[in-house]
Structure 1
């Protein structure tokens, strides 16, 4: 049996929550959605009026670019090591994604990487917290404030990460989290959108539901004695979450601290067991004042053996991967720009299994497989 790189933790509590939704006979956007928004907002340390439960983190990225009113000729700076949805969201508006380099060890951009790409055409900066590690977010946020450039945080990997006591996702102007089936907190599909500006949050709520003006919730569109009449102010799509997925999310949110604690324990075991393996570089330690959600655990190997090691691990029943291939090398965004750190990291980095359900036996299996594969491949080169 293969040891998965990602795996959700679902059980009787989630089943019971779903059963309650079935019994209510209301599966759509409703009271559980509102409660999930409020409880996630409390988790972030913000008011509930600033959060909107949506059907995916990707929807949040597309909504963010629409709210920023990007158009042709505008530029958005983002790290090349990032999920393709971020670049797609920018390009869909007609604006141009401008890719910056990253630190070769953290795979997060530094403020200097961002600053080097800013121009008079820059309309926003998008950052990813790679693997749940906050990165240089404090300095990047300060840079964006000083330059008057909106900051969007793709916090898909950072559902419980903090820097200096501030929750990742609340440093900038807009942020989004992912709750898909591979994340830490899962709802099957789903995401949360955060907007610092309350007026923008109200507009986001309209855009997430066909552009309908809603004064008292999505279930009441009454604007006159003809309750079926609608007040539509924007051309928009349906991107809202629902009570079925929100019910799962509420249970998952209550378990989140235990999930992160379990992942941290796996990371500590990897750190101890792999520290002395020749040819293996471990993730850099977190800076003081930073906490991670521990979404990825990545090692870095000689590029000449990385792919072969991955193949050996798969043959041994250990699934690994690399997230995320450099976007400036993806065909849709291909350019002749050279970003040496991102390119080097893409050839040397391998993400190992990391989830809260990994047993000590699983971790030992992964470690032994890594040790054996690396030693064998190094000896043969």
Structure 2
């Protein structure tokens, strides 16, 4: 069935000074009390290592872009196998990519309607017109079949969003874009450290865009990363000719400290996800979304799909009633959503997932789900 596209959719705590000789173990020392039982929807994994890194950067006297930024760009570039530029936010990284690509009358930018509104704001700010294709139910990422229905002579770019820690199957979209001669931008905001069957996420498009916001894989509070592969040694940098858009050394110091623990953080989140999947195996009305086959996501939250909109409502009421925070998926709402996106909007719920969750926390959430929708 051909699917029409949709166009023109109308508590902090004080930190003590860190000694320059202070050492931190591989996993760091948590700055959150072990007795803190708050079951947050999101929680960054912050340790004394992050505090020390920022303190050292400030004490160095070099707080603008310097060695910390250069180190972060070098390390992320090695991991991704591409050149990288550290930016002040993921939104700015996406804006740079779009400004670099869009030109003339080819101003339509196809993306998913299951996306945070900020992505659409950036598309418009860069001079583009958003066009919304449908999504794949298991990954909530752009559908290649729906994308094909949306391509026109006005299409200037495609923004493929890996949604909320899930890694999508981007290869079909990449192949379609290559055949049509349309530049592809991979929005990997929440999946730094994620992988596909072919390697690190962020290498399929002309640009890969990452975020270091507080809700992402790792965080520097704010910050972003733009990844690309120069077509020739003389190719200009995508940020040439732009005003100041980069990261400071203070921000990069925290980014480097977080990057030191990226794999540990992701392993801890995957352990929580495994706990959810095992327990939900006895709840046929609820399923944990896991991303594309062969992929490894970053689990910035747990996305639970219910077998009906009614089941989602029952689960939401049960969790909120017990003090467990939940949230639906992000969606750009208009007169209607394409079928796959509409199903996600009505049946998918985000529940807590972060590195400080305990077995008891997972038991609590899944017990409430089972009681609400179990059969």
Is TM > 0.5 for Structure 1 vs Structure 2?
A: yes
- Report matched runs for 1:1-381 at 5 Å: 2-46=38-82, 50-70=83-103, 74-197=107-230, 202-206=236-240, 211=241, 236-284=242-290, 286-288=292-294, 290-301=295-306, 302-325=308-331, 327=332, 329=333, 334=334, 336=335, 338-375=337-374
Write the distance in 1 (CA, Å) between the matches of 2:182 and 2:281: 41
What's 2:9 paired with?
A: none
Does the Cα contact within 8 Å between 1:172 and 1:196 map onto a contact in 2? Answer: no
Write the distance in 1 (CA, Å) between the matches of 2:187 and 2:284: 34
Structure holding more helix per residue: 1
Q: Which is further off, 298-307 or 174-183?
A: 298-307
Instruction: Structure 1: state its 5+ residue gaps.
Output: 212-235
1:280-322, Cα deviation, whole Å (9 max, x unpaired): 133256413x222222321122212423422331231211112
Inter-CA distance 170–59: structure 2 relative to 1 (3 Å threshold): same
Write the distance in 2 (CA, Å) between the matches of 1:147 and 1:2: 49
Instruction: Structure 2: state its 5+ residue gaps.
Output: 1-36
Superposition deviation, residue 347 in structure 1: 0.8
Write the distance in 2 (CA, Å) between the matches of 1:104 and 1:184: 22
What is the TM-score with the length of structure 1 in the denominator? 0.83
Helix, strand or coil: the match of 1:347? helix
Write the distance in 2 (CA, Å) between the matches of 1:320 and 1:60: 29
Write the distance in 2 (CA, Å) between the matches of 1:83 and 1:355: 20
1:118-175, Cα deviation, whole Å (9 max, x unpaired): 1111111101112333222112111111111100011011111222232111111011
Write the distance in 2 (CA, Å) between the matches of 1:66 and 1:97: 14
Superposition deviation, residue 29 in structure 1: 0.9
Structure 1 vs Structure 2 CA RMSD: 2.1
Write the distance in 2 (CA, Å) between the matches of 1:201 and 1:276: 55
Helix, strand or coil: the match of 2:303? strand
Helix, strand or coil: the match of 1:132? coil
Write the distance in 2 (CA, Å) between the matches of 1:96 and 1:127: 15
Matched residues, number? 337
What is the TM-score with the length of structure 2 in the denominator? 0.84
Helix, strand or coil: the match of 1:130? coil
